[in-house]
Amino acid sequence: MKHLRVAIFGAGPAGIYAGNILAGSYENVTIDLFDSLPAPYGLIRYGVAPDHPRIKGIVNSLHEMLDSGKIRFFGNVEFGRDLTLEDMQRHYHAVIFATGAIKDATLNIPGVDLQGSFGAADFVSWYDGHPDVPRTWPLTAENVAILGNGNVALDVARVLTKQANDMLTTDIPVNVYEELKDSRVTDVHVFGRRGPADIKFTPIELRELGEVADVEIVLSPEDFPEGWFNEDAEGVTNQHRVMARVLQSWLERESKPAKRRLHLHFWHQPKEILGEGGKVSGIRFERKGENRDYPVEAVYRAIGYWGSELPNVPYDDSKGVIRNIDGRVVDEKENQISGLYATGWIKRGPVGLI
């Protein structure tokens, strides 16, 4: 077989795994891996919370793959600016896009642009020291709302409520530690739009929340009516069962005074972020047909990530992914574009663990 030249755009887990699989599958292959950032590892470096060293440790496996000598890494290369699609098609037999999903999904409710309304993805980038975001973050709010019942909401809730000193053993950036240390937060409220049986958390991450020092978890009994969890319902997995037990144990445990409180609310559909003088002053939800307002000074939207469009690459703006069928890039009429592929979150959307 002739010598195959492949370019991969995006040096996060998906791009590196793709390169490694290709390197192991073909004798005659040259793989060039590009990233717009100076260093590789994408989501692991800039998306995993500093106090999750076990997940961050996956960098070691990815490092070994890059170190195998079969993949060349080029950082600081912006697709569409430094290299165009045309350039890539001229020099490579195949181009794989693995650019991930790093933006926040949009939430279309009034008040979303008020000062104090933040995308969780931006906050995550800040606490992970992403080079493209400001070094400072306003942590003046005492009462905070987090929207969403996925693991990103848990990460944000944990980082906001944890004592900064308890993160000194991690690779938390110094500027982040300094600001978290002075945070005024006392109450963090996490809101799910569905019920406690429909959370998208994973068991280890949920349980971990209950182990954060000096934080009391507060649940509302109204969210847990008799028989709230049906073990035998369709689609219920072992993960759901474990998480239901965790929530039930929190519901039954005695309240103890703590420096900070973490409230979990369910059945809350966000309607409006309320403001005063251009700043967040509260948030309104609809809960089972009635409006509920909560006074908060900051809102974090953890309702999912969103993939960005790349110049001249077909993009599905209803899903935030590159148009593709099973990873083969297609045009609007679903005709395959020869030599173009997508993998990871820009292929299937931001779901699944690393």
Residue among 22 and 99 whose Cβ is closer to ligand NAP = 99
Minimum CB–partner distance for residue 161 and ligand NAP (Å): 16
**What residues numbered 198-237 form the site for ligand NAP, per CB under 6 A?**
200, 202, 205
Rounded to the nearest 10 degrees, what angle do helices 120-127 and 151-161 cross at? 50
Does the footprint of ligand NAP cover residue 50 (CB under 6 A)? no
Given 99, 151, 183, 343, the residue binding ligand NAP (CB under 6 A): 151
Sole residue written with tokens 């809730």: 157
Does the footprint of ligand NAP cover residue 303 (CB under 6 A)? yes
Residue among 18 and 44 whose Cβ is closer to ligand NAP = 44
Sole residue written with tokens 């953890």: 302
What is the H or E stretch that residue 244 is in? helix 238-252
Alpha carbon 257 to its chain centroid, in Å, reads: 31
Does the footprint of ligand NAP cover residue 350 (CB under 6 A)? yes
In what side-by-side order are the strands of the sheet with 328-330? 71-74, 29-34, 4-9, 94-97, 336-342, 328-330, 324-325
Minimum CB–partner distance for residue 112 and ligand NAP (Å): 11
Part in contact with ligand NAP (CB under 6 A); list of ranges 19-27, 78-86, 110-118, 345-353 = 345-353
Burial annotation 208-226 (CB, 10 A radius, 16+ → b, else e) = ebeebeebbbbbeeebbee
Given 40, 50, 270, 282, the residue binding ligand NAP (CB under 6 A): 270
Does the footprint of ligand NAP cover residue 302 (CB under 6 A)? yes
Does the footprint of ligand NAP cover residue 42 (CB under 6 A)? no
**What residues numbered 109-148 form the site for ligand NAP, per CB under 6 A?**
147-148
Given 20, 99, 149, 343, the residue binding ligand NAP (CB under 6 A): 149
- Give the tokens for residue 343: 């993998």
Residue among 202 and 281 whose Cβ is closer to ligand NAP = 202
The candidate with the shortest Cα–Cα distance to 17, out of 329, 324, 327, is 327
Minimum CB–partner distance for residue 310 and ligand NAP (Å): 21
Cβ count within 10 A of residue 195 = 15
Is residue 271 a contact partner of residue 109, using CB atoms and an 8 Å limit?
yes
Does the footprint of ligand NAP cover residue 155 (CB under 6 A)? yes
Residue among 144 and 340 whose Cβ is closer to ligand NAP = 144
Cβ count within 10 A of residue 77 = 18
Q: What gap in Å lies between CA 152 and CA 300, rounded to an integer?
A: 10
Does the footprint of ligand NAP cover residue 12 (CB under 6 A)? no
Task: Using CB under 6 A, count the residues that bind ligand NAP.
Answer: 25
Q: What gap in Å lies between CA 304 and CA 313, rounded to an integer?
A: 23
Minimum CB–partner distance for residue 54 and ligand NAP (Å): 9
Q: What gap in Å lies between CA 86 and CA 76, rounded to an integer?
A: 19
Given 193, 207, 292, 328, the residue binding ligand NAP (CB under 6 A): 193
Does the footprint of ligand NAP cover residue 150 (CB under 6 A)? yes
Dihedral sign computed on CA atoms, order 105, 108, 109, 114: positive
Does the footprint of ligand NAP cover residue 160 (CB under 6 A)? no
- β-pair partners for 324: 329
Residue among 29 and 209 whose Cβ is closer to ligand NAP = 209
Given 305, 306, 315, 341, the residue binding ligand NAP (CB under 6 A): 305
In the complex, which residues of this chain contact ligand NAP (CB under 6 A)? 52, 107, 147-153, 155, 192-194, 200, 202, 205, 270, 302-305, 350-353
